[in-house]
Chains A and B, each alone.
Chain A
Amino acid sequence: MRILFIKNYAYISIIGIYVILILVSMISPYTLEIVYYTLLLMILAQSLNIIMGFAGLYNFGHAAFVGIGAYTFAILVVKGVDPYLSMIIGGLVASFTAFLLGLVVLRLKGPFFAISTLGILEAIRYFIIGTPKITGGAAGFTLFKYLGTSYNPYILVYILLILSVVTTIFLIILSHSSLGYSLKALREDHDAAEASGVNTTRCKIIAFILSAFFPGVAGGVIAFKTFWVMPETIFDISYSIEAILTVLLGGSGTIIGPIIGAMIYNISKSLFMSYFPGFQLIVFGILTIIIILIAPEGVIGLLNNRFKKVRRFLI
Chain B
Amino acid sequence: MAILVVDNVTKKFGGIVALRNVSLDIHDEILGLIGPNGSGKTTLVNIISGAYMPDSGKIIYRDNDITILPPHVRCRLGIARTYQIPRPFSNLTVLENVIVSVINGTLYGKVSMKEAKYVAEDILKTVGLSRFKEIPAKSLNIQERKRLELARALGIEPKLILLDEVLSGLTLSEMSEMLSIIKKIHETKKIPILMIEHIMHAIMNISDRIIVLNQGIKIAEGTPEEIANDIKVIEAYLGDRELALKFVKK
A residues adjacent to B (C-beta < 8 A): 176-178, 181-182, 184-185, 188-189, 191-200, 253
In the complex, which residues of chain B have a beta carbon less than 8 angstroms from the beta carbon of A197? 72, 75-76, 101, 104-106, 108, 156
For this complex, 16 residue pairs linking A to B, each with C-beta atoms less than 8 Å apart, are A176-B113, A178-B104, A181-B96, A184-B89, A184-B91, A184-B100, A188-B89, A192-B88, A192-B89, A193-B89, A196-B75, A196-B100, A197-B72, A198-B72, A198-B104, A200-B72
1/0 contact string of B35-77 vs chain A (CB within 8 Å): 0000000000000011100000000000000000011100110
Given contacts A184-B96, A197-B75, A197-B156, whether A192 and B83 have CB atoms under 8 Å apart is yes
Inter-subunit contact A195/B92 (CB<8 Å): no
Q: How many residues of B contact A (CB 8 A)?
A: 32
Q: Which residue of A lies closest to B149 (CB)?
A: A192
Inter-subunit contact A177/B100 (CB<8 Å): no
The distance in angstroms between the C-alpha atoms of A189 and B155, with both chains bound, is 17
In the complex, which residues of chain B have a beta carbon less than 8 angstroms from the beta carbon of A200? 72
The distance in angstroms between the C-alpha atoms of A196 and B82, with both chains bound, is 10
Given contacts A178-B113, A181-B100, A181-B103, whether A196 and B152 have CB atoms under 8 Å apart is yes
The distance in angstroms between the C-alpha atoms of A199 and B71, with both chains bound, is 9
Given contacts A184-B96, A185-B89, A188-B91, whether A195 and B81 have CB atoms under 8 Å apart is yes
Q: Which residue of B lies closest to A185 (CB)?
A: B100
Least Cβ–Cβ distance between B153 and chain A, in angstroms = 9
In the complex, which residues of chain B have a beta carbon less than 8 angstroms from the beta carbon of A192? 83, 87-89, 152
In the complex, which residues of chain A have a beta carbon less than 8 angstroms from the beta carbon of B139? none
Of A177, A184, A196, A253, the contact of B156 (CB 8 Å cutoff): A196
Inter-subunit contact A188/B104 (CB<8 Å): no
Given contacts A178-B113, A184-B89, whether A194 and B75 have CB atoms under 8 Å apart is yes
- B99 sits at the interface (CB 8 A): yes
Max chain A C-beta neighbours (<10 A), residue from B80, B100, B155: B100
- B90 sits at the interface (CB 8 A): yes
Least Cβ–Cβ distance between B1 and chain A, in angstroms = 24
The distance in angstroms between the C-alpha atoms of A189 and B90, with both chains bound, is 9
Given contacts A195-B49, A196-B104, whether A189 and B89 have CB atoms under 8 Å apart is yes
In the complex, which residues of chain B have a beta carbon less than 8 angstroms from the beta carbon of A184? 89, 91-92, 96, 100
Inter-subunit contact B92/A196 (CB<8 Å): no
Inter-subunit contact B113/A182 (CB<8 Å): no
In the complex, which residues of chain A have a beta carbon less than 8 angstroms from the beta carbon of B96? 181, 184
Least Cβ–Cβ distance between B35 and chain A, in angstroms = 22
Least Cβ–Cβ distance between B16 and chain A, in angstroms = 21
Inter-subunit contact A198/B51 (CB<8 Å): no
The distance in angstroms between the C-alpha atoms of A184 and B152, with both chains bound, is 15
The distance in angstroms between the C-alpha atoms of A150 and B208, with both chains bound, is 80
Inter-subunit contact B87/A189 (CB<8 Å): yes
Q: Which residue of B lies closest to A181 (CB)?
A: B100
The distance in angstroms between the C-alpha atoms of A189 and B88, with both chains bound, is 8
The distance in angstroms between the C-alpha atoms of A117 and B189, with both chains bound, is 47
In the complex, which residues of chain A have a beta carbon less than 8 angstroms from the beta carbon of B155? 196
In the complex, which residues of chain A have a beta carbon less than 8 angstroms from the beta carbon of B70? 194
Inter-subunit contact A188/B92 (CB<8 Å): yes
Least Cβ–Cβ distance between B112 and chain A, in angstroms = 9
Inter-subunit contact B72/A188 (CB<8 Å): no
Given contacts A184-B96, A185-B100, whether A194 and B89 have CB atoms under 8 Å apart is no
In the A-B complex, list the 3 residue pairs whose CB atoms are closest, starting with the nearest. Answer: A197-B104, A197-B75, A188-B89
In the complex, which residues of chain B have a beta carbon less than 8 angstroms from the beta carbon of A185? 89, 92, 97, 100
Least Cβ–Cβ distance between A109 and chain B, in angstroms = 15
The distance in angstroms between the C-alpha atoms of A191 and B89, with both chains bound, is 11
The distance in angstroms between the C-alpha atoms of A193 and B101, with both chains bound, is 8
1/0 contact string of B184-203 vs chain A (CB within 8 Å): 00000000000000000000
Least Cβ–Cβ distance between B200 and chain A, in angstroms = 27
Least Cβ–Cβ distance between B158 and chain A, in angstroms = 10
In the complex, which residues of chain B have a beta carbon less than 8 angstroms from the beta carbon of A191? 51, 71, 87
The distance in angstroms between the C-alpha atoms of A253 and B103, with both chains bound, is 20
The distance in angstroms between the C-alpha atoms of A188 and B97, with both chains bound, is 10
Max chain B C-beta neighbours (<10 A), residue from A188, A191, A253: A188
In the complex, which residues of chain A have a beta carbon less than 8 angstroms from the beta carbon of B92? 181, 184-185, 188
Given contacts A181-B96, A184-B92, whether A195 and B113 have CB atoms under 8 Å apart is no
In the complex, which residues of chain A have a beta carbon less than 8 angstroms from the beta carbon of B81? 195
Least Cβ–Cβ distance between B207 and chain A, in angstroms = 23
Inter-subunit contact A199/B72 (CB<8 Å): yes
1/0 contact string of B128-157 vs chain A (CB within 8 Å): 000000000000000000000000100110
The distance in angstroms between the C-alpha atoms of A24 and B20, with both chains bound, is 72
Inter-subunit contact B101/A196 (CB<8 Å): yes
For window 159-197 of B, CB contacts with A under 8 Å fall at: none
